Amino acid sequence: MSDSEQLAIEISVNQLHEMRQANEEFILLDVREPAEYETARIDGSRLLPMSELQARFGELLPHRDDHVVVQCHHGGRSMQVVQALRQAGFSRVQNLAGGIDQWSLQVDDTVPRY
C-alpha cells in the first residue's frame, strides 16, 4: 500500500499485536483521561486525553504523515478522535476496535480491566 492510500478506519487488537511483534513504526495514541491511563495502559502508548486534544493539537501536527493508532477504553472516544484527525488531513490514522478493554481480553490479560 502506498502512503497516499487511506488505511481502514479500524484495526483489531490482534492486528495491533502483530504490528508490535513485527516492530512496525507507528504511534499508539491513548486518548483516555490520566486516571484511566494510570489504571491500565498498553506499553509504549502516548497519553493525549481527548479532553485536551484541541489545546494540544499542535503536538500531533509533526505526525500528520505517520501511522497513528488511537485507543481509548472501548473505542468510542478514539473513533471520534480518528474522525477529527482524518478531517484535519491525517490519512494514516486508525481506531483500535474495542480499545484497551479488548486488548486485555484478547492479547494481554496482565492489563487490568476496569
pLDDT value for 22: 98
95 φ, ψ (degrees, to nearest 5): -90, 140
pLDDT value for 5: 59
Say if residues 42 and 71 touch (Cβ distance below 8 Å): yes
pLDDT value for 88: 95
Domain positions in the chain are 10-106
Q: What is the pLDDT of residues 40-86, one digit of tens each?
A: 999 999 999 999 999 999 999 999 999 999 999 999 999 999 999 99
pLDDT band of 87, cuts 50, 70, 90: very high
Over residues 6-11, mean pLDDT: 91
| Cα three-residue angle 78-89-62, rounded to 5 degrees | 85
pLDDT value for 2: 43
Q: State the fold for domain 10-106.
A: Oxidized Rhodanese; domain 1 (3.40.250)
pLDDT value for 58: 95
Query: Order of strands, edge to edge, in the sheet holding 93-96?
Result: 10-11, 93-96, 68-71, 27-30, 46-47
pLDDT value for 1: 41
